[in-house]
Amino acid sequence: MAAVAEQWARVAKAVQQRRKVIGLSASRLALDSEISPTTMSNIERGMGATPTILRRVSLALQWPDDTLLRISQGEPVPKGPKPITPLTTMERVAALEIEVAALKAGLRTLL
């Protein structure tokens, strides 16, 4: 049982450290990961998460999607280049508008 607690403590520490490096609040990371703030709090307190949630959080932390799962299995926290600068709100809105337009165009061809 102690091994399980240690694995989630490693994940919690990795999430907290990476979040600070890329300048995200816990609530913003939860939003970017599409999970609840309570779930994010549980992760940062070492209470574990499903593989799907770990993938979402890894991506929101600008890591490959399997990073937190690998950390939970005992692999070291990756050392690498600094993260890319997060998109501004306006850049996100513009990207979403393009995606919505593409989806609408796809729907028109189906109808």
pLDDT in tens, 5-45: 899 999 999 999 999 988 899 999 999 999 999 999 999 99
Which pLDDT score is estimated for 79? 80
State residue 83's pLDDT score.
Answer: 59
Residue 31 — φ and ψ, nearest 5°?
Answer: -60, -50
Q: What is the mean pLDDT of residues 61-83?
A: 85
Report how far residue 35's alpha carbon sits from residue 16's, in angstroms, rounded to the nearest whole number. 16
pTM to 2 decimals?
0.70
User: Alpha-carbon distance 104 to 47, whole Å?
Assistant: 41
Q: Which two tokens stand for residue 95?
A: 């990207």
